[in-house]
């Protein structure tokens, strides 16, 4: 597929790997390998296992030990990344284009041939426990974890992607290897490559190093989708300098047009540097330094969070300000006209062109579009769809989404 924005082709290899190649006039090549497995698909006793396995992919293969993997990554002289989220595990390398084949061989070895050395499991367990404690010391991250615990009873969103101290300590070599064998398979893999090379050359390169990865039957995992509970809770934590407020809404079942209207609303409400919440909480009242809203339209997730901080004396006033802003939007006292929608189109185009200019960002973007079952150039349809969105559409989606929130307030325990 070639369009006005980028020159791309899509393939499905014999073992089920879905490959996206993008030919770009660049000296930089970026390869992203994503497995459609993340914390959303873990059972309760497995919480954190995908993140643990992501760490172990760097710890040894049939022909490389931990030191050799780190040395080979360093020799690419670029950047490398790995992360686990709710729906995927991703490994990536971005380097000079002449490093693409070596990068491809290295990633294929790490993903296909990991051996999970026992001594490395024990060492990495300590590293991950340290990572978990660090996240608990981060008041913002801690607040998000707490509201998810309050909002959901069964949803995977209730649990930290890192897992818990109990599960992290419980994982055995056999358990890690079995989960890896069952879920890290080519028919759950998507690879994106951005490079100056022809589509055919890149396809043959991927086939050379990934074709020996055997296709296996996918294990069906049921995902519990749950609306947030309409509940308000106050928690306390010792020795914190910031008190926090979080609102959480879920929005399952919206059309794409409604989601776009919600994205416009979210941008003007709390995402932009001159948002409604920023002006109300920081500029007018001086209650908060950090204030924002964020939205996730990923399948099974569909969440909108509102976050701010305040002194304890101001925390309830800040909560009231947020609620008043929401009421004004729902009642059309704050209205989104054509000017706001035109501005959002400009914001969206700016974001897209920024991604298109950056090989690493482009590779990651198309990978996740494919992970979500979307066209990789879906933004073209989205920009066109914006032409049909009016202020009333934004008001209606606010009325639909901004109701029955989960609210969590974190205060310093004296």
Instruction: Write the DSSP assignment of 29-75 as a string of letters.
Output: EEEEEEES--GGG--GGGTTHHHHHHHHTTSBBSS-BHHHHHHHHHH
As a whole number, the mean pLDDT across the chain is 94
d(CA 198, CA 175): 41
Residue 225: how many CB atoms within 10 A of its CB? 16
Q: In the predicted model, what is the mean pLDDT of residues 20-30? A: 96
103 in Cβ contact with 95 (< 8 Å): yes
Q: In the predicted model, what is the mean pLDDT of residues 299-315? A: 94
What is the DSSP code (8-state) at residue 294? E
Higher pLDDT, 399 or 382: 399
Q: In the predicted model, what is the mean pLDDT of residues 92-113? A: 97
296 in Cβ contact with 303 (< 8 Å): yes
**Residue 2 clears pLDDT 50, i.e. is over it:** no
Structure confidence by residue, pLDDT tens digits, 57-69: 999 999 999 999 9
336 confidence band (pLDDT: 50, 70, 90): confident
pTM to 2 decimals?
A: 0.93
Comparing C-alpha atoms, which of 390, 74, 414 is closest to residue 243? 414
Structure confidence by residue, pLDDT tens digits, 160-181: 999 999 999 999 999 999 999 9
Residue 221: how many CB atoms within 10 A of its CB? 12
Higher pLDDT, 2 or 67: 67
Compute CA 370 distance to the chain's CA centroid, rounded to the nearest angstrom. Answer: 14
4 confidence band (pLDDT: 50, 70, 90): low
* 414 burial level (CB within 10 Å; 0-12, 13-18, 19+): exposed
Structure confidence by residue, pLDDT tens digits, 363-393: 999 999 999 999 999 888 888 888 889 999 9
d(CA 380, CA 127): 43
Structure confidence by residue, pLDDT tens digits, 206-263: 999 999 999 999 888 888 899 999 999 999 999 888 899 999 999 999 999 999 999 9
Percent of the chain with pLDDT over 70: 99
Domains and CATH numbers, the chain: 7-210 (3.30.830.10), 232-413 (3.30.830.10)
d(CA 340, CA 160): 36
**Residue 185 clears pLDDT 50, i.e. is over it:** yes
Q: In the predicted model, what is the mean pLDDT of residues 285-294? A: 93
Query: Coil, helix or strand for 299?
Result: coil
223 in Cβ contact with 300 (< 8 Å): yes
Rounded to 5°, angle at Cα 145 from 131 and 270: 115
Q: In the predicted model, what is the mean pLDDT of residues 124-143? A: 94
Tokens linked to 336 = 């989104």
Percent of the chain with pLDDT over 90: 84
173-183 and 49-56 helices, crossing angle to 10°: 90
């Amino acid at each position: 597929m070639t369009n006005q924005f980028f020159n791309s082709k899509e393939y499905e290899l014999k073992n089920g790997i879905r490959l996206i190649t993008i030919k770009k006039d660049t000296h930089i090549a970026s390869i992203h390998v994503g497995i459609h497995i993340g914390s959303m698909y873990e059972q309760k006793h497995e919480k954190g296992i995908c993140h643990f396995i992501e760490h172990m992919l760097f710890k040894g293969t049939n022909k490389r030990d931990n030191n050799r993997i780190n040395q080979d990554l360093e020799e690419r002289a670029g950047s490398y990344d790995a992360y686990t989220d709710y729906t995927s595990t991703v490994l990536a390398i971005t380097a000079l284009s002449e490093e693409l084949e070596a990068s491809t061989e290295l990633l294929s070895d790490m993903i296909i041939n990991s051996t999970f050395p026992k001594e490395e499991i024990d060492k990495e367990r300590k590293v991950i426990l340290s990572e978990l404690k660090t996240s608990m010391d981060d008041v913002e991250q801690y607040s998000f974890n707490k509201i998810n615990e309050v909002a959901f009873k069964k949803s995977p969103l209730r649990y930290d992607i890192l897992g818990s101290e109990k599960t992290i300590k419980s994982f055995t070599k056999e358990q890690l290897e079995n989960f890896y064998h069952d879920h890290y398979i080519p028919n759950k893999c998507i690879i994106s490559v951005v490079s100056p090379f022809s589509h055919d050359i890149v396809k043959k390169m991927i086939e050379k190093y990934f074709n020996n990865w055997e296709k296996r039957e996918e294990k069906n995992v049921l995902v519990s989708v749950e609306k947030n509970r309409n509940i308000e809770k106050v928690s306390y934590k010792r020795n914190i300098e910031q008190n926090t407020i979080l609102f959480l809404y879920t929005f399952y079942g919206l059309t794409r047009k409604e989601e776009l209207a919600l994205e416009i609303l979210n941008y003007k409400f709390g995402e932009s540097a001159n948002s409604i919440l920023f002006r109300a909480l920081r500029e007018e009242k001086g209650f908060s330094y950090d204030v924002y809203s964020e939205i996730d339209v990923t399948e099974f997730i569909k969440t909108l969070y509102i976050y701010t901080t305040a002194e304890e004396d101001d925390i309830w006033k800040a909560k009231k300000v947020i609620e008043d802003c929401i009421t004004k939007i729902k009642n059309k006292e704050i209205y989104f006209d054509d000017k706001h929608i035109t501005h959002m189109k400009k914001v969206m185009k700016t974001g897209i062109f920024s991604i298109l200019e950056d090989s690493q960002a482009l590779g990651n973007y198309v990978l996740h579009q494919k992970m979500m079952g979307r066209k990789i150039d879906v933004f073209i349809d989205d920009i066109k769809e914006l032409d049909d969105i009016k202020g009333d559409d934004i008001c209606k989606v606010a009325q639909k989404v901004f109701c029955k929130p989960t609210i969590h307030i974190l205060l310093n325990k004296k």
